[in-house]
């Protein structure tokens, strides 16, 4: 079978829109607004196409804020894309500094939790536990809450759990940059072994040397767009040229360049991708998003009606009694109180005055 005909991961016109709410309450308000014009938007990704085959390691490079983590989080299923189609054949596992680990739980508890979430039974977890602990090599800290770990220790634990869950697609987001040399080499060996086994690796890193060492191909993400995708040496060389060019600009020119792209990301409209999608040979449906995260007007109306009904029924049944009986009882209580007060006043009058 020709491997090239069967991509393990396929991204088609992937976009990601972020809402830039000023306050958390604005987010709740926006949920029920029928027009969202007042909320500023920002497009972290704008039509990414990528096909990655079994056994390939792909480096994701780009300047700060270009969209690498957004893309790796979409690949890992942590956040949904806004529009576009994502096809992954197999299980994914992501290793990112601090991601996925529960800070209040100990290392051991995190290992168990993550493995159970991946569908392993308690017995299966017991079997692989010694291997995970040996790979992480964090000693007694395994019994400490993860919030007390250094970033390197978090990365070790995250890496150890992820590789032992045997994913088909492994996403490594900057997690190797915080490990020491010994651990780094151990991870590199494991990544190379994964590649041999036909697994697919995505490797997000600012270290171009690491990218060159590990990756067959490189995707250069630039302000949410895929600027280049291809052979590692070539793309890294072009990226280096860009960095040199950018550094040579004056501060004013740099700002202008950055602001120009940021404006494009703010004012982007998915319809801009229609023609590009056709040029790239996609069908019309590719610009649709997954059916989550948005509410139709009908859904909003139904939801509002349900909340209103809940409020009304909640009021009518205060403390387990009907609205009517609750207030009827209250009135009786008030009358009783008045009678008591009057009797006590009479007694006081009799005693001290009468
Ligand atoms: N939750 C969010 N809400 C609003 N904007 C966001 C959110 N997450 C990311 N962004 C924006 O999307 C863009 C891409 O961010 P992302 O973290 O993916 O970049 P990156 O390439 O991983 O950056 P870095 O190299 O600094 O880690 C940035 O401009 C960022 O400010």
Task: Please tell me the distance between residue 202's alpha carbon and the centre of ligand 1 in angstroms.
Answer: 17
Q: Among 48, 147, 27, 44, which Cα is nearest to 98's?
A: 147
**pLDDT of 285:** 86
Is 130 part of any domain? yes
Q: Please name the residue ranges forming H helices in the chain.
A: 24-32, 68-75, 107-117, 122-136, 151-164, 181-196, 208-214, 232-247, 251-267, 273-279, 297-316, 323-352
**pLDDT of 316:** 62
* Domain closes at, from 115, 132, 166: 166
Is 182 part of any domain? yes
Pair (188, 274) in one structural domain: yes
Pair (319, 274) in one structural domain: no
Task: Please tell me the distance between residue 69's alpha carbon and the centre of ligand 1 in angstroms.
Answer: 7
CATH of the domain at 286: 3.40.50.300
- Pocket test of ligand 1: the residue of 27, 45, 66, 268 to mutate, having most ligand atoms within 8 Å of its CB, is 66
**pLDDT of 80:** 95
**pLDDT of 21:** 72
ipTM over the 0.85 cut-off: yes
**Ranges in the chain, pLDDT < 50:** 1-2, 331, 335, 337-340, 348, 352-354
Which protein residues touch ligand 1 with a CB less than 6 Å away?
18, 20, 42, 44, 62, 64-70
- Pocket test of ligand 1: the residue of 26, 70, 73 to mutate, having most ligand atoms within 8 Å of its CB, is 70
Q: What is the pLDDT of residues 62-103, one digit of tens each?
A: 999 999 999 999 999 989 999 999 999 988 888 776 667 899
Domain that residue 147 falls in: 104-166
Other Cβ atoms closer than 10 A to 308: 10
Pair (162, 196) in one structural domain: no
Nearest CA to ligand 1 atom 24: 64
Pair (22, 149) in one structural domain: no
Pair (176, 161) in one structural domain: no
Is 200 part of any domain? yes
Is 348 part of any domain? no
Task: Please tell me the distance between residue 44's alpha carbon and the centre of ligand 1 in angstroms.
Answer: 6
**pLDDT of 343:** 54
Is 1 part of any domain? no
Pair (226, 87) in one structural domain: yes
Is 99 part of any domain? no
Pair (80, 206) in one structural domain: yes
CA 44, CA 35: separation in Å to the nearest integer? Answer: 22
Pair (226, 149) in one structural domain: no
Nearest CA to ligand 1 atom 26: 64
- pTM value is 0.78
**pLDDT of 283:** 86
* Domain closes at, from 149, 166, 183: 166
**pLDDT of 176:** 77
Is 353 part of any domain? no
How many separate domains does the chain show?
A: 3
Query: What token pair was written down for 281?
Result: 């040979």
Pair (75, 124) in one structural domain: no
CA 113, CA 101: separation in Å to the nearest integer? Answer: 9
Pair (143, 190) in one structural domain: no
Is 351 part of any domain? no
Task: Please tell me the distance between residue 255's alpha carbon and the centre of ligand 1 in angstroms.
Answer: 18
* Domain closes at, from 166, 186, 206: 166
Q: Among 150, 170, 23, 40, which Cα is nearest to 95's?
A: 170
Pair (211, 113) in one structural domain: no
Task: Please tell me the distance between residue 224's alpha carbon and the centre of ligand 1 in angstroms.
Answer: 9
**pLDDT of 338:** 44
Pair (43, 79) in one structural domain: yes
Task: Please tell me the distance between residue 332's alpha carbon and the centre of ligand 1 in angstroms.
Answer: 62
């Amino acid at each position: 079978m020709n491997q090239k005909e069967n991509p393990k991961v396929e991204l088609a016109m992937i976009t990601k829109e972020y809402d830039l709410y000023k306050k958390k309450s604005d987010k709740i308000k926006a949920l029920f607004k029928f027009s969202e014009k007042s909320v500023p938007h920002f497009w972290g990704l704008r039509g990414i196409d990528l096909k990655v085959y079994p056994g390939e390691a792909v480096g994701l490079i780009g300047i700060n804020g270009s969209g690498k983590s957004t893309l790796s989080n979409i690949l890992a299923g942590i956040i949904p894309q806004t529009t576009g189609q994502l096809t992954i054949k197999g299980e994914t596992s992501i290793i990112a500094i601090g991601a996925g680990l529960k800070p209040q739980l100990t290392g051991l508890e995190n290992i168990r939790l993550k493995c159970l979430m991946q569908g392993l039974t308690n017995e299966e977890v017991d079997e692989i536990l010694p291997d995970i602990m040996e790979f992480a090599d964090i000693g007694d800290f395994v019994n400490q809450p993860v919030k007390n770990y250094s970033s390197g220790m978090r990365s070790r634990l995250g890496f150890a759990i992820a590789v032992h869950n045997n994913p088909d697609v492994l996403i490594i987001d900057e997690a190797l940059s915080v490990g020491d040399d010994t651990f780094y080499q151990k991870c590199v060996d494991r990544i190379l072994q994964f590649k041999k086994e036909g697994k697919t690796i995505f490797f997000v890193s600012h270290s171009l040397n690491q990218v060159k060492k590990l990756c067959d191909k490189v995707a250069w993400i630039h302000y949410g767009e895929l600027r280049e995708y291809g052979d590692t040496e070539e793309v890294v060389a072009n990226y280096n040229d860009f960095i040199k060019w950018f550094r040579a600009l004056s501060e004013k020119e740099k700002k202008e360049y950055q602001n120009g792209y940021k404006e494009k990301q703010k004012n982007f409209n998915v319809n801009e991708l229609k023609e590009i999608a056709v040029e790239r040979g996609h069908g019309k449906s590719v610009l649709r998003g997954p059916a989550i995260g948005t509410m139709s007007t009908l859904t909003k109306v139904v939801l509002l009606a349900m909340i209103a009904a809940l409020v009304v029924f909640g009021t009518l049944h205060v403390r387990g009694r009907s609205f009517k009986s609750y207030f009827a009882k209250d009135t009786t209580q008030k009358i009783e109180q008045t009678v008591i007060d009057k009797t006590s006043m009479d007694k006081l009058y009799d005693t001290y005055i009468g």
